[in-house]
A and B are shown apart, each in its own frame.
Chain A
Amino acid sequence: MDLAVDIVKSGNRNQTEQFVRNKLHNSIVAACLSVRMPEGQAETTAHAVCDGVIVWLQQRPEVTSQDIRTVATRHLKSYHPEAAYLYEQQHMII
């Protein structure tokens, strides 16, 4: 389920795009697999985190990509703190 929410991309405040659940799901699965989580558990965790982010998004018409990352990290932390840490750090390593 995709929502009619505009996502403001970081670094380019004029550029927006629609929220796509699959994109968020894939990025969370990637973070989970990076910490060697089994594939099935990674999928289940990503579903749960996406659901949490969508509930948060339903009251907001426009958010930044950084907001989504922060909320997703908060939800992921309750399932797997290490995966949450790596998800948060992905764009801050180099």
Chain B
Amino acid sequence: MGIPNSLAIIALAALIHASFQLSVSVLTLLSSHTLSTKQTQAKLLRLTTGFLVGAGIMTVLLLSFTSLVLLHVFGTETPQFIWAAGCGLLVGVAVSIWLFYFRREKGTMLWIPRSIATYLTERIQSTKLSAEAFGLGLSSIIGEILFIIAPLVMAALVLIHLPPMWQLAGIGIYTVISLLSLIIVWVLIGSGHSISQIQKWRESNKHFLQFAAGAGLIVLVFFVYVNEILGNTVGGI
């Protein structure tokens, strides 16, 4: 697979990651809570920035760690059955997202363990320092690992085939694109937009977001399958 194709797969995987909503929910709730406790706009901006940086750092760490593990296990030549298993994982996660991602009730409640949701809500309510917001950003990415694991593994499988400098570029591209939805919400909140408007948009478009995330994964499977499995099989023959 060439460098442009590899970067395209990484970018698509990151875009799918960006469509997952737990971090956005946490950022929305953190902003709402901060405003309700009569904090200044500057304080709100510090906390949301801390959160954003935390989410970014955890994404870099997770992607690097996954790539390192895959590199140690398979080297730079990933066996085809691993690509096939990766595709299977993606299809499974895509179907799960279509069926379960948002709960079938009002609001934007997600199908994550309720203990994680309660933990995050309690952490939001006790977040007063930027360092705590940073920690919350780290935890929110861990909280959605059940869903982000699929695009993350696929991006890592592609990353380990790239030359070292392009690996760094790939990690950077993945991180920036995967944070896009958070960056948009951060900019909106920072520029004084109403949190209820943001939440209203999220609630009314939740089925579209759910469909888009699942469909994105299926497109990614198709792309990887054609490039890595069919391409090599036909090329091998």
Contacts and interface: CB of A to CB of B under 8 A. Distances in A.
A93 B194 contact: no
A30 B107 contact: no
A39 interface: yes
B38 A34 contact: no
Contacts of A92: 105-109
B55 to A, nearest CB: 15
B26 A94 contact: yes
B25 A94 contact: yes
Interface residues of A, number: 19
B192 interface: yes
A29 B22 CA distance: 26
Contact of A94 (B35, B36, B109): B109
Given A34-B35, A94-B117, A86 B196 contact: yes
A35 B117 contact: no
Contacts of B108: 89, 92-94
Given A31-B36, A94-B110, A82 B194 contact: yes
A36 interface: yes
Interface string A1-42: 000000000000000000000000000011101111001000
Contacts of A94: 22, 25-26, 29, 108-110, 112, 117, 120-121
Interface string B191-230: 0101111011001000000000000000000000000000
A89 to B, nearest CB: 6
A89 B22 contact: no
Nearest to B41: A36
B28 interface: yes
Nearest to B140: A94
A24 B76 CA distance: 60
A82 B196 CA distance: 6
Nearest to A87: B196
Interface of B: 22, 25-26, 28-29, 32-33, 35-38, 105-110, 112, 117, 120-121, 192, 194-197, 199-200, 203
Interface of A: 29-31, 33-36, 39, 82-83, 85-86, 88-94
